[in-house]
Structure 1
Amino acid sequence: MVLNLLSPKFILFFVLLPAVFAGGVKAQDVFQPYRQDWLKKAEDNKPKLTETEKHPLNIVKLEQDAAAFQGWKAVNTDSVGKLYNNSFKTQSGVVVDFGEHLTGYFTFNIKSLKGTPDAPVRLKFTFGEVPSELSVPFDPYKGTISRAWLQDETVTVTEMPATITIPRRLAFRYVKVELLGASPYFDFHITDMQLKATTAVTFKPPLLAPTTSPLIADIDRVGLNTLKECMQTVYEDGPKRDRRLWIGDLYLESLANQYSYQKNDLTKRCFYLLAGLSGDDGILISNVFETPEPHAQVGNRLLDYCFLFNVALKEYVAATDDKQTGIDLWPVAKKQLDIARKYAGKDGMMDYIKAGKEWWVFFDWKDDLDKQACLQGLTIYTLNQTYALAKILGKEDEVADIPALARKLKNAAYKNLYNPKSGLFVSGINKQVSYGAQAWMVLSGVVSKTEGQAALKALVSTKDAVRPGAPYMFHYYVAALIESGLKAEAKEAVETYWGGMIKKGADTFWEVYDPKDELKSPYNFYPVNSYCHAWSCTPVYFIRKYPEIFQR
């Protein structure tokens, strides 16, 4: 046999050979024809931020108090005039209180009082969302995420008078100012501290019914503040830390926004950003950044968040009747269903062990949570919600297999995870009982309303039941209570959990809250926790969507 070295096939072999040994040919970008249009629509819907000038209200003293949140409280001592009208050399360590949580850009003036400034002045500013952030030493830092998230800034002033704006955007209520270095030959004072506060919010939500209890009204107010602070040019995870768009937060913020600020262009922007920055295989990336140009955190794939994109899109289209956005992004929602098809076994059970090895599967900040039942329930819920979206858009024929797959997973969940003797769902090889498992089994409709009520009632008295680790999972627990018809229990849960934060002084709701462990942190250092966090704002959604439950 004689080889024809000039044949097209032979030439193609040698062209492709290096790529094979380099790890294969790059996969085709399945959404390549749509990306630029999606990203343009994201930019077109970028809101113009409103700016408001804010000033500190008081000087406060930080005091240890075992009854206060995390052991520290702020006590008013003087007016801000005392700081402004006296030498700062005698006031190093002063703490001012702006009276509310704010997000934006901090400016101050510095002027000489006597003598000629003959050397630089070095100041340290520490910004805190809660008093403990200004009371607990940051170093030696033992946290598991970047030390740079902590909001302490050193400023060197070389000339006076000066007006200085810290370039980093900040999120805080309290500011501590310390003197690190100054010449003994002149004196100076600090004046006119202010913040240019930013938010995308432009609409004032309607008042609650006059029959609303004071506690529920306070929870709604703080929830609205939390949402407002996180609504910047995307729905931010938290304005202090993780200042970017995550899918899980998008879903919960968009629900709360729909019943309050109604900033639908922001919701639309976030959908298009996530779609435009999805992977080449069409699977979504869990979070994206806006600057210096829109980009995703490459490789950060979170299975449950991919599913929640579909759920959020369906809720948005149903609420706004914006079918064009739904049609534009339908290919993305449809693509995420491949995940369910891949891990759904012949027996109707999701292969959560394999999924857990190949994906980040989150659901909650709770290390000991077994996620089998949560994954099974969310998958069923996503299949049903995506099919509902398909019906709104007239796309049912493109996902004709989904209803049967959802029924198969539902029947398998009831058969394999429901314990009729206890009336509870179990999860994993150790048959764990958790709030998450019951919540997702109820929300996915695996059990009847009567069985769902029984499971949720039995849960409360189950000694070893794994409780939610953060407001994120607590949202789904409350949603399950409402879904099962336990209205009084839902209201009590909101009053107890989010009301607990109110009673401990929250002016925005926190990323992590365990009533039995106020120092809990997923990052091994609680000052780096976010104390204004997107996924904690959802009492706004419950209170305003279900006035018959919460406003009476």
Structure 2
Amino acid sequence: MLVFKSAFRLSLLICFSFLILNETAAAQDVYAAWRKDWLQKAREFTPALKTTIKKPVGIVRIEKDASAFQGWKAVNAGGADQLYSSSINKRNSSIVVDFGEHLTGYCTITLKTRRSDMDAPVRLKLTFGEVPAEIATPFDPYPGGLSRAWLQDEIITVTVLPATITIPRRVAFRYLKVDLLGSSPNFDFNIADLSFKASTSVRMTPPALTAGTSQIIKDIDCVGLNTLKECMQTVYEDGPKRDRRLWIGDTYLESLANLYSFHNDSLTRRCLYLLAGLANEDGMLSADVFEEPEPHSHNTRLLDYCYLYNVALKEYVAGTGDKQTGLDLWPVAKKQLDIARKYALPDGMMDYQKANKEWWVFFDWKDGLDKQAPLQGITIYTLNQTYELAKILGKENEVADLPAFARKLKNAAHKSLYDKKSGLFISGKDRQISYGGQAWMILSGVATKAEAQRALKTLPAVTDAVHPGAPYMYHYYVAALIASGLNAEAKQAVIDYWGGMIKKGADTFWEVYDPVDEFKSPYGFFPVNSYCHAWSCTPVYFIRKYPEIFQR
């Protein structure tokens, strides 16, 4: 009996301890009460992908051309009929197929014998490329900083012909190079059929631009729509070739473009709920999440992306009128404000040095960019945008301190970062002048309209100004031009930058584009760059939101 009572007490103690531990764990997870519902809603909004069978338009030669993008161009070498009528053998061991447009999905190839019996296996190497240089540049020895496996080359070995093979890996490409690695000289074979199952969650065609729109703006809009379409899969992917995951910064810009084009609002809802459901237990968002094998966080702590979640949610609610999603996710937006409160110093300046040590503070793929001014600006911008969201949702009383908080940071920024003599905003101990610094000081409202116009008109003449390194920062520069009332300059900036990519052959816009360095890569090897990238699609947003600027 004594033993039984002791065992019973021990059982009670274990159960009690278990309950205490569970309650403690739940208390540590600030979103414990909502996660399950958020993830369920994310599942419910998963789109059914639309698939389309695509066929090659012909074959091409990849030729050197110093005037072409990255030194290579595709030259027409025959139609699709020539592809299917040509033998593959040692004399004709390589062929490049052009599908005529950027596609994302799965490739199927059918091979058959043309002469004699197949007396040995056939081994082929298939290389998928988004741009001609990706086809022409040897991948090995691989010098890049990211996984070599991102490069899209596959080897297949076939022992019996005829055969139809579907490559199991999803690829994103326009050009396909087929190289013969091994076969017997005693027989010939050929490609009997080649098809591609392309996928996207886009199901509608946006309205045409006005008749008076210039051709270059129409072209930019078309390529921007193609870029957005390819990245809209079951989430807003950053790039369908690489990284193929959901990033907050890309999602914000994609959702803006989507609001004014494809109107696939359920995809935006899915992404917002998914990011919320996979946030860290301390309430801070992960900058990116994976869908497979189960949705999970990558635990990337990127400061400016946490802020941009609030802005994306506000733009979504304002653009669609879907207050329920805003109310559901309000706790997440409210929690991200803790970042501003943690790093704001008594004088109203953000503690950039501390924030930069504890977070990845990104803003742009640009070496040497000082981020003090951008961080101060985006903090103020986020405070203002979150307060606008609160007003839409009737939650102003929960964040009543935001207007005064934003004013304090705004006044401090103007006092510390504005150089009256030059009319420009500086950043950091070296007083750096950058496009990003001006953009965020303007978007945040730190600059008056007159100061903004002066800064942006002065900026091009500053020889050591730090330029944007990618279309991502260029978006905010164009947004700043529009916010300053410099409409003609904004239109010209879009034509010069994104139109520059089109003139160099882009049929989707690229992850990284520096007009003076076509080989720029944050990863040490330009073929691993993404040449269809979400954050590059935003001319669609500008062109369609501001027709009075861009469609006249």
TM-score class normalised by the smaller sequence: over 0.9
Correspondence 1:425-440 to 2 at 5 A: 425-440=425-440
Q: Deviations over 1:64-121 (max 9, x none)?
A: 0000000000000111222212321142221010001011100010111222223221
Alignment partners' CA distance in 2, 1:397 and 1:196: 51
User: What amino acid sits opposite 2:512 in the alignment?
Assistant: V
User: What amino acid sits opposite 1:311 in the alignment?
Assistant: V
Report the counterpart of residue 230 of structure 1 in structure 2: 231
Residue 211 of structure 1 deviates from its aligned partner by 0.5
Correspondence 1:311-322 to 2 at 5 A: 311-322=311-322
Say if 1:129 and 1:172, in contact at 8 Å, map to a contact too: yes
Q: Deviations over 1:48-76 (max 9, x none)?
A: 11111101111100110000000000000
Report the counterpart of residue 291 of structure 1 in structure 2: 292
Note the residue ranges of structure 2 that are not aligned, 5 or more in a row: 1-8
Report the counterpart of residue 108 of structure 1 in structure 2: 109
Alignment partners' CA distance in 1, 2:537 and 2:33: 36
User: What amino acid sits opposite 1:543 in the alignment?
Assistant: I
Alignment partners' CA distance in 2, 1:42 and 1:118: 53
Alignment partners' CA distance in 1, 2:524 and 2:244: 20
User: What amino acid sits opposite 2:502 in the alignment?
Assistant: I
Alignment partners' CA distance in 2, 1:304 and 1:514: 22
Say if 1:27 and 1:280, in contact at 8 Å, map to a contact too: no
**Pair 1:534-2:551 in alignment:** no
Report the counterpart of residue 51 of structure 1 in structure 2: 51
Q: Deviations over 1:309-352 (max 9, x none)?
A: 00000000000000000000000000000011000000100001
Report the counterpart of residue 4 of structure 2 in structure 1: none
Which range moves more in the overlay, 76-85 or 92-101?
76-85
Alignment partners' CA distance in 1, 2:108 and 2:383: 50
Report the counterpart of residue 263 of structure 1 in structure 2: 264
Say if 1:141 and 1:147, in contact at 8 Å, map to a contact too: yes
Say if 1:38 and 1:275, in contact at 8 Å, map to a contact too: yes
**Pair 1:357-2:376 in alignment:** no
Correspondence 1:142-291 to 2 at 5 A: 142-291=143-292
Percent pairwise identity: 70
Instruction: Report the secondary structure of 2:125's partner residue.
Output: strand
Report the counterpart of residue 324 of structure 2 in structure 1: 324
Report the counterpart of residue 127 of structure 1 in structure 2: 128
Say if 2:349 and 2:412, in contact at 8 Å, map to a contact too: yes
Say if 2:231 and 2:534, in contact at 8 Å, map to a contact too: yes
Q: Deviations over 1:265-298 (max 9, x none)?
A: 0000000000000001111000011111101113
Correspondence 1:361-510 to 2 at 5 A: 361-510=361-510
Alignment partners' CA distance in 2, 1:120 and 1:425: 66
User: What amino acid sits opposite 1:33 in the alignment?
Assistant: A
Note the residue ranges of structure 1 that are not aligned, 5 or more in a row: 1-6
**Pair 1:512-2:512 in alignment:** yes
Say if 1:230 and 1:237, in contact at 8 Å, map to a contact too: yes
User: What amino acid sits opposite 2:288 in the alignment?
Assistant: N
Report the counterpart of residue 83 of structure 2 in structure 1: 83
Say if 2:478 and 2:490, in contact at 8 Å, map to a contact too: yes
* TM-score, with length taken from structure 2: 0.95
Say if 2:96 and 2:177, in contact at 8 Å, map to a contact too: yes
Say if 1:259 and 1:545, in contact at 8 Å, map to a contact too: yes
Report the counterpart of residue 302 of structure 1 in structure 2: 302
Instruction: Report the secondary structure of 2:337's partner residue.
Output: helix
Correspondence 1:34-45 to 2 at 5 A: 34-45=34-45
Say if 1:83 and 1:91, in contact at 8 Å, map to a contact too: no
Q: Deviations over 1:370-417 (max 9, x none)?
A: 000000000000000001100100111111121111111000000000
Alignment partners' CA distance in 2, 1:281 and 1:361: 19
Show structure 1 runs of 4+ deviating over 4 A: 24-27
Q: 1:26 to 1:48 in 2, by over 3 A?
A: closer
Say if 2:290 and 2:296, in contact at 8 Å, map to a contact too: yes
Residue 26 of structure 1 deviates from its aligned partner by 9.6
Instruction: Report the secondary structure of 2:516's partner residue.
Output: coil
Say if 2:125 and 2:154, in contact at 8 Å, map to a contact too: yes
Say if 2:58 and 2:83, in contact at 8 Å, map to a contact too: no
Alignment partners' CA distance in 2, 1:337 and 1:168: 41
* TM-score, with length taken from structure 1: 0.95
Equivalent residues, number = 535
User: What amino acid sits opposite 1:198 in the alignment?
Assistant: S
Instruction: Report the secondary structure of 1:56's partner residue.
Output: coil
Alignment partners' CA distance in 1, 2:282 and 2:275: 14
User: What amino acid sits opposite 2:144 in the alignment?
Assistant: G
Residue 25 of structure 1 deviates from its aligned partner by 8.2
Alignment partners' CA distance in 1, 2:35 and 2:160: 49
Alignment partners' CA distance in 2, 1:85 and 1:497: 42
User: What amino acid sits opposite 1:408 in the alignment?
Assistant: K
User: What amino acid sits opposite 1:529 in the alignment?
Assistant: N
Residue 28 of structure 1 deviates from its aligned partner by 1.3
